[in-house]
Amino acid sequence: MHAILALMLAIMLGDNAESAYCQEILMSLGEVGIFWTNSLVGTMSTLALALLFWPLLKGVPRRLR
């Protein structure tokens, strides 16, 4: 999972973002909770995940009808 995220960051944002992501994952020993320790970074991470999954969440109410 972490390898896929690192690849996506490298493609979209470049080598610096990939290096920073890999460094944070190594420092936290694989725990992704490190991205929510700072309130600003946590907010940005939550918004990024919400935007990533928005198309999936948008179709849920239609399927429940």
The whole-angstrom separation of Cα 18 and Cα 11 is 9
Question: Among residues of the chain, what percentage have pLDDT more than 90?
Answer: 0
Mean pLDDT of 33-59: 80
Hey, how many other C-beta atoms are within 10 angstroms of the C-beta on 13? 12
Q: Which amino acid is at 10?
A: A
**Report field, pTM of the whole predicted structure over 0.95:** no
pLDDT band at 64 (very low <50, low <70, confident <90, very high): low
Look at residue 53 in the predicted model and tell me its pLDDT. Answer: 84
- Largest pairwise CA distance in the chain: 46
